[in-house]
Amino acid sequence: MSVEVFLFPFLAGLGISFGVGRMIRALLRPSHRRPDPRLLLLLLLAFGLRAGSLTAQPLWRDEVDALRFGRDLSMEIAEAFRQGDAAGWERLAALLT
């Protein structure tokens, strides 16, 4: 038996006050309807418009900082482990505090 089978009665009971059980039952019920091709076309069009304009926009300052700090910290951690013995752990502890 899967976990979903055991959790289903509990989660279905939540539907009394929040409607969660009804939503979960609808998600677990197999659907025999075919998706609307217009919806797929709309999603592909929206994705194409968004993906096409990504290169036209510069990175924001917080994105640049996140990339730089992430790269710098990973280099520091790699250097701390290259030193050997306990020095790497001490350096890592100093970086994280």
Give the tens place of pLDDT for each residue, 57-93. 676 777 777 877 777 777 777 776 776 666 667 767 7
DSSP 8-state secondary structure symbol assigned to residue 33: P
pLDDT of 35 strictly over 70: yes
All residues at 6 or more sequence positions from 87 whose CB lies less than 8 Å from its CB, including other chains = 80
For the record, the structure tokens of 33 come out as 């309807």
pLDDT of residue 15: 46
95: confidence class by pLDDT, cuts 50, 70, 90: confident
Higher pLDDT, 69 or 44: 44
Q: Is the dihedral of CA 63, 64, 69, 75 positive or negative?
A: positive
Given the structure tokens 């069009």, which residue do they identify?
A: 45
| Local structure of 53: helix, strand or coil | coil
Higher pLDDT, 24 or 46: 46
pLDDT of 30 strictly over 70: yes
HSE at residue 85, side-chain half, CA atoms within 13 A, is 1
pLDDT of residue 50: 84
